[in-house]
Amino acid sequence: MSIKIQKLSKVYGTQRAVDDISFEVAKGEIVGFLGPNGAGKSTTMKILTGYLPATDGSAEVNGFDVKTSPMQVKSSIGYLPEHNPLYLDMYVREFLEFAGSLYGLKGKSLQIKVAETIEMVGLGLEKHKKIGQLSKGYRQRVGLAQALIHNPDVLILDEPTTGLDPNQLVEIRDLIKSVGRNKTVIFSTHIMQEVEAICDRVVIINRGKIVANGTLSELKQGGKGIEDVFRELTA
């Protein structure tokens, strides 16, 4: 399994932000991680990426334990946080060269990888601009580019389409689906259309607990739409 979470919990005082959850994501799957705001999606993702320690349980990425092998986990992951952290005064190409260098890329290999990634995410016309001059949609592309620059096996994307206009939504969804053909992808959302458009499988979390885990067809048995299922499970 590319991602394996077992009996994972995160407690803040008396609040259980993540409450004894377990699920797995197989290599090559695109899994939607659904739930209302405050359900525990971002907390789970931050634990997976090593940004937060778990209170209990375990999380593995590519066979490496997040707690005991954090560097191996981080080198395996491309991560786009919900609030895309970018250096707005840097130029697009400059920023991606910097991001690549953090993963040990250098010289000609770095230049080739930056050029390939810029082409992949559709930043060719923007690569000589400052990030601060870009629209929200193109900033999200830059965020995806930095997550992809080191060719990770696993992509973890937290609300990657928040705040985008309809055209940008379609473009970013198509991009995620395209890069997901060769990678394991888990992305959080509360937008049902994204689930229909992208996902192989869905994990729904509510109040820190997993309330559903299955394919779209499994969840929609009985003729219900995914929005109806989501509404019932998170009521």
Kindly state whether residue 225 falls inside one of the protein's structural domains: no
Closest CA to 203 of 66, 48, 52: 48
Asked whether the predicted pLDDT for residue 232 surpasses 80, the reply is no
Kindly state whether residue 94 falls inside one of the protein's structural domains: yes
Residue 91 domain boundaries: 3-188+202-208
Q: How far apart are CA 170 and CA 189, in angstroms?
A: 14
CATH number at residue 85: 3.40.50.300
The per-residue pLDDT for range 128-143, each reduced to its tens digit, is: 999 999 998 899 999 9
Kindly state whether residue 41 falls inside one of the protein's structural domains: yes
Give the pLDDT confidence score for residue 82 in this predicted structure.
85
Kindly state whether residue 228 falls inside one of the protein's structural domains: no
Q: Please report, to the nearest 10 degrees, the dihedral formed by the alpha carbons of residues 183, 184, 190, 196 taken in order.
A: 70
Asked whether the predicted pLDDT for residue 206 surpasses 80, the reply is yes
Kindly state whether residue 235 falls inside one of the protein's structural domains: no
Cβ atoms of residues 39 and 50 within 8 Å: no
The per-residue pLDDT for range 207-224, each reduced to its tens digit, is: 999 998 988 888 877 666
Kindly state whether residue 230 falls inside one of the protein's structural domains: no
Domains held by the chain: number: 1
Q: Is 235 exposed, middle or buried (0-12, 13-18, 19+ CB in 10 A)?
A: exposed
Kindly state whether residue 220 falls inside one of the protein's structural domains: no
For residue 113, give the DSSP letter: H
Q: Is 100 exposed, middle or buried (0-12, 13-18, 19+ CB in 10 A)?
A: buried
Angle formed by the axes of helices 107-121 and 136-148, nearest 10°: 140
Kindly state whether residue 218 falls inside one of the protein's structural domains: no
Q: Which residue has the tokens 């998170």?
A: 234
